[in-house]
């Protein structure tokens, strides 16, 4: 399956940045290893790749991969030392009463029967997410999220914990899907109305890091996928 040119955001002999589509796993599926994943899709065209970080299967956006073992070690070190700048955009449900906010809540993965990450002040690990409002809509808001730690489902859990879950993120309390009628208060849903978005509205907007060989600072931005872009465009401003 060839990669569309717009999905390959950056490539050189040492690394590659891919605009991962929603629905594609970063790693092989634990239940069905035959399902496509990032390496199985990219390696036939670009040779051996090393996974540096992960995106949830239903999260779209900028994913950084190494093309050499040396680049992999260098990029891993940057992640471990917190020197990689990751920026996400999320469409959330609810009115957001602030312009900027920082969430410091400890998290524990696989913390309940649904295998969700949970806030746990006794056994959780420290987790910090910086938030900023980008746009306000009627009943929704588009946020920028900068995770300063790398906990599983960190942004999803933190947003749910403060009462503004992500659109499409039913696992963490958001509506399972969004329809055009949901964007207009009082408008009934039609029988044949097509869904706008039926997965978490979370997009890895950009990633910034030092090139592992020449030390150049790179910041690679990933355009919105069609479903996310269309949904944001159809939201009614406040």
Find out whether 65 and 55 touch, Cβ atoms under 8 Å.
no
Judging by DSSP bridges, how do beta strands 15-20 and 60-66 pair with one another? Answer: antiparallel
Which residues does 4 contact at the CB level (< 8 Å), separation at least 6? none
Angle at 25 between CA 174 and CA 114, to 5 degrees: 45
What is the rounded distance in angstroms from the CA atom of residue 131 to the CA atom of residue 134? 10
- Residue ranges with strand state E in 94-201: 100-104, 107-108, 118-119, 128-136, 140-147
- Residue ranges with strand state E in the chain: 8-11, 15-20, 50-51, 60-66, 85-93, 100-104, 107-108, 118-119, 128-136, 140-147, 202-210, 217-221
| List 56, 58, 182, 227, catalytic entry | 56
CB atoms within 10 A of CB 109: 16
Task: State the number of CA atoms in the 13 A half-sphere of 231 facing the CB.
Answer: 30
| 56 is annotated as an active-site residue | yes
What is the rounded distance in angstroms from the CA atom of residue 29 to the CA atom of residue 160? 26
> Closest Cα to residue 204, out of 144, 123, 130?
144
Angle at 106 between CA 100 and CA 112, to 5 degrees: 120
Q: Which residues are catalytic?
A: 56
């Amino acid at each position: 399956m060839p990669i569309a040119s717009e999905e390959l955001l950056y490539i050189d002999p040492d690394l590659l940045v891919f605009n991962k589509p929603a629905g594609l796993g970063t790693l092989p599926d634990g239940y069905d290893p035959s399902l496509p994943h990032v390496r199985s899709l990219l390696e036939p065209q670009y040779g051996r790749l090393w996974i540096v970080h992960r995106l949830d299967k239903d999260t779209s956006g900028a994913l950084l991969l190494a093309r050499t073992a040396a680049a992999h070690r260098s990029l891993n070190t940057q992640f471990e030392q917190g020197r990689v700048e990751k920026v996400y955009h999320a469409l959330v449900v609810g009115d957001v009463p602030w312009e900027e906010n920082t969430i410091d809540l400890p998290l524990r993965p696989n913390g309940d029967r649904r295998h969700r990450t949970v806030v746990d002040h006794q056994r959780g690990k420290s987790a910090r997410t910086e938030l900023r409002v980008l746009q306000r809509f009627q009943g929704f808001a588009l946020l920028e999220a900068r995770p300063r730690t790398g906990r599983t489902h960190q942004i999803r859990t933190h947003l749910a914990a403060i009462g503004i879950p992500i659109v499409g993120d039913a696992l963490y309390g958001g509506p399972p899907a969004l329809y055009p009628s949901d964007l207009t208060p009082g408008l009934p849903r039609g029988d044949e109305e097509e869904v706008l978005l039926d997965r978490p509205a979370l997009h890895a907007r950009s990633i910034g890091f030092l090139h592992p060989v020449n030390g150049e600072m790179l910041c690679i931005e990933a355009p919105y996928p069609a479903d996310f872009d269309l949904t944001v465009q159809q939201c009614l401003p406040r």
